[in-house]
Amino acid sequence: MDTKTVGKVPFEKGELVTNSNFTGTVWLNYLAETDSIHNVNIGSVTFAPGARTNWHYHKGGQILLVTAGRGLYQEKGKPIEVIETGEVVKCPPNIEHWHGATPKDTMTHIAIGTNTNIGGAVWLDPVTDEEYHKN
Amino acid sequence: MDTKTVGKVPFEKGELVTNSNFTGTVWLNYLAETDSIHNVNIGSVTFAPGARTNWHYHKGGQILLVTAGRGLYQEKGKPIEVIETGEVVKCPPNIEHWHGATPKDTMTHIAIGTNTNIGGAVWLDPVTDEEYHKN
């Protein structure tokens, strides 16, 4: 295995995300693909104001390191939480949730998918405007 | 489990490291302790010029994201490599290695210990000045 790979840490936006798992303008800078040795994947994700993931869950869990800006995080059935630069969020396996920017701020986090040998993200419905703006 | 914890990302130096697993001046900002769910631990480590880890290996492997400065990385029996801001290094399990700053630069990396359910770091001898300055 080639143990040294070149990524773009920190904070280059990377590529515009064009799939339907997100609402709004989102960039992904993929830092480390998973492998059968380390069992994690790592990406820096930047959300323009108003942008967010769909509802989703991770079979193996995820950890978010908020590296710039201010965003939102919500687990199904719980209140929306504000997440600021410097905060670390642990998303346990199989807990439905979403994350993204606030309506006014851009937010970047490093997302670490854990236990990828168990499985990755399972994508669900978009977060509606009504859900996103509920306080 | 409390899924939202406050860390200090990015780049606050954290606490001065006072144990004998390092040479020189090193700070550790512990971002996420391991748990039995995610099986990773995460810390931001800052090395003053000349500072470095001891030789060591990880039973479950490690991934480094160089977030500031310029450093050095060496696996036993291989040449010393320069690692720059933006580089990602995967250290496979049980491969003896060390990392640290260059003699002239400060270097910060986020260190992600992987598969912590298998085990953590095993610390060995200091990197001698002769080893550190060998090119």
For residues A97 and A57, the answer to whether their CB atoms sit within 8 Å is: yes
- Identify the band that residue A86 occupies on the pLDDT scale cut at 50, 70 and 90: confident
| DSSP structural state of residue B76 | T
pLDDT value at A6 more than 80: no
Q: In chain B, which residues have their Cβ closer than 8 Å to the Cβ of A40? A: 40, 63, 112, 114
pLDDT value at A121 more than 50: yes
| DSSP structural state of residue B94 | T
Q: What is the ipTM of this complex?
A: 0.88
- Residue of chain B nearest A41, judged by CA positions: B63
Q: At CB < 8 A and 24+ separation, what contacts does B76-83 make?
A: B80/B134, B80/B135, B81/A4, B83/A4, B83/B107, B83/B109
Average pLDDT, chain A: 91
- Note the pLDDT of residue A78: 96
- Residue of chain A nearest B40, judged by CA positions: A114
pLDDT tens, position by position, B78-127: 999 999 988 899 999 999 999 999 999 999 999 999 999 999 999 999 99
**What percentage of residues in chain A have a pLDDT greater than 70?**
91
pTM score? 0.90
Chain A residues touching chain B at CB-CB below 8 Å: 1, 3-10, 12, 31-32, 35, 37-40, 42, 61, 63, 65-67, 73, 75, 81, 83, 85-93, 95, 110, 112, 114-115
Rounded mean pLDDT of B8-37?
87
- Note the pLDDT of residue A135: 67
Dig out the tokens for B89 from the structure.
Answer: 């290094």
DSSP codes joined into one string, A14-80: -EEP-STTEES-EEEEEEE---TTT--EEEEEEE-TT-EEPSEEESS-EEEEEEEEEEEEEETTS--
pLDDT tens, position by position, A19-60: 999 999 999 998 999 999 999 999 999 999 999 999 999 999
**What percentage of residues in chain B have a pLDDT greater than 70?**
91
Length of chain B: 135
Dig out the tokens for B120 from the structure.
Answer: 């953590």
Q: At CB < 8 A and 24+ separation, what contacts does A27-32 make?
A: A31/A7, A31/A110, A31/B65, A31/B88, A32/A5, A32/A7, A32/B63, A32/B88, A32/B90
- Residue of chain B nearest A68, judged by CA positions: B10
Integer Cα distance of A72 and A107 in angstroms: 9
Dig out the tokens for B67 from the structure.
Answer: 């977030």
| A1-10, A11-20, B41-50, range with greatest mean pLDDT | B41-50
- Note the pLDDT of residue A85: 86
- Identify the band that residue A10 occupies on the pLDDT scale cut at 50, 70 and 90: low
Backbone angles phi, psi at A54, to 5 degrees: -70, 165
- Note the pLDDT of residue A58: 97
Separation in Å, CA of B40 to nearest CA in chain A: 7
Rounded mean pLDDT of B47-60?
98
- Residue of chain A nearest B115, judged by CA positions: A38
For residues A119 and A67, the answer to whether their CB atoms sit within 8 Å is: no
Separation in Å, CA of A107 to nearest CA in chain B: 13
SS3 A129: helix
Residue at token pair 């002769």: B130
- Note the pLDDT of residue B4: 44
- Residue of chain A nearest B1, judged by CA positions: A92
Q: Residue B20: how many CA atoms within 13 Å on its side-chain side? A: 3
Mutate to test the interface with B, among A1, A6, A9, A13 (most CBs of B within 10 A): A9
Chain B residues touching chain A at CB-CB below 8 Å: 1, 3-10, 12, 31-32, 35, 37-40, 42, 61, 63, 65-67, 73, 75, 81, 83, 85-93, 95, 110, 112, 114-115
Q: Which domains, from first to last, does chain A contain? A: 15-132 (2.60.120.10)
Integer Cα distance of A46 and A30 in angstroms: 11
Of the partner residues B5, B42, B67, the one whose CB lies closest to the CB of residue A9 = B67
Dig out the tokens for B135 from the structure.
Answer: 């090119």
For residues A46 and A16, the answer to whether their CB atoms sit within 8 Å is: no
For residues B60 and B116, the answer to whether their CB atoms sit within 8 Å is: yes
For residues A57 and A75, the answer to whether their CB atoms sit within 8 Å is: no
